[in-house]
Chains A and B, each alone.
Chain A
Amino acid sequence: MYFLNVLEAKGWYFLTTLLGGWPETAGVAAASLVFALIVGLFIALLRLSRWRLLRFPAVAYVEFFRGTPALVQLFVIYFGLPDTGFQPSPLQAAIVGLGLNGAAYLSEIYRAGIESIHRGQLEASLSLGMTPASAMRYIILPQAIRTMLPPITNFAIVLLKDTAIIFAVGVVEIMALARNLVTETLQSAVVYLIAGAIYLCMTIPMARFAARLERAKRAWQ
């Protein structure tokens, strides 16, 4: 069969070439996850603030970033920012773009986690004389993190999959190398299927892990 012949003759070459893009894929996913974890927490705290003036920008941020495609956001950053005099590198654009986008989703996860902690916890720590900030830091967040861990793992999977669009802003990751291989050899079927298999090898174990966390969470709740 045609497919198997190509796979036998070229499969190893395709696989090793595509894996050359793995550091970029994993690196961008990890970097934008860290970025999103930090920015997302900041936005979640703004959103839970008592003052409308602080809440409003956080709500607008979340609505905007969740209401527009990540690809458009990446294009605004990579192709749009140079109009204002700053030229980001492809990697910078990808990390910041996916990070800002992810922060909007993560802030909702944080918010749900924080709100899942009973109000009495906050009131008790305040009545013990803690400041609201240290109550958040030492009492609320450490408890909320257990509820948030499974959705954060799921978010990391989504983020990893989203890195497949960053070739559009010029990052040379797995998908970019796959496209190059196809222009070089015209074997689109085999190349893209191998690329898909590489992604599955990363996402399926992560999904299993997330499901296990979810079960563990249900066990202690």
Chain B
Amino acid sequence: MLQLPQIYAENIRRWLPELLHFALTTLLIAALSFVVAVFIGLVLALMRTSRSPVSGGVAAGYIEVCRGLPIVVLLYIVYFAPPQLLPDIGWKWFTTLAGAVLGLGIHGGAILAEVFRSGIEALHKGQREAALSLGMTPAKATAYIILPQAARIVLPPVGNYAIGLLKDTSLCSLIGANELMNDAKSIAFADYQPMAVFVLVAGIYFAMSYPLSLCVRYMEARMRHGRS
């Protein structure tokens, strides 16, 4: 019979500091790919809401492809394909970490683009028209009138995306990025304690994602009551 408390009592001092160290790497991957995703998502959302059919079509195609691919497949493509297709550029800098951030960011960009678009489209058309009639340029109207208001609307769904992203960083272990999940695997198999280690790691992921989901719920509740 498995004696989890006893196993933890014996090993936790060795396991926990190491796992928490790699949990920081996980948070770093999540934070960096979040930034990449927000950037890509914003550009795509503006392209989609623009009147030009070309940029709208490009953005729609990007979103459909990236949302249709499993994240793992996207990570494998982003990490393994470019060095082979363009071997002449130096790829020394393209570590597993860079591949992970880029892959998750490209995927997240497609998700956030839809979130941002729905936020922009939720605003009344009069907002833009009023800004334009006051003599603002379309770019200024977007930057000072539309986006600040849309930002409040999209905050809860963006938070939900961030929770998903945090969990999806575990997939980076499959391309060999050295984060929490990868380290958990090496500890689990080196010490022959898979159950104890993976349950502990599940607890660490939960401890990171649960506060985030409480925040999102709080924001959603505020939204529902018309304050934000």
Contact = CB atoms under 8 A, between A and B. Distances in A.
Interface in B17-38: none
A196 B77 contact: yes
Given A188-B80, A207-B64, 15 more contacts: A67-B209, A71-B170, A71-B174, A73-B202, A79-B194, A80-B198, A83-B2, A161-B71, A165-B70, A165-B171, A189-B80, A196-B74, A200-B65, A200-B69, A204-B64
A175 B72 contact: yes
A23 to B, nearest CB: 17
Sorting the interface of chain A by its residue count into under 10, 10 to 19, 20 to 34 or 35 or more gives 35 or more
Contact of B198 (A72, A162, A188): A72
Interface of A: 2-3, 63-64, 66-73, 75-76, 79-84, 161-165, 168, 175, 178, 182, 187-189, 192-193, 195-196, 199-200, 203-204, 207
Contacts of A187: 84
Given A69-B181, A73-B202, A192-B77, A199 B70 contact: yes
B73 interface: yes
Given A200-B65, A207-B64, A168 B195 contact: no
Contacts, number: 126
A199 B205 contact: no
A196 B66 CA distance: 10
A162 B184 CA distance: 21
A14 to B, nearest CB: 14
Contacts of A192: 73, 76-77, 80-81
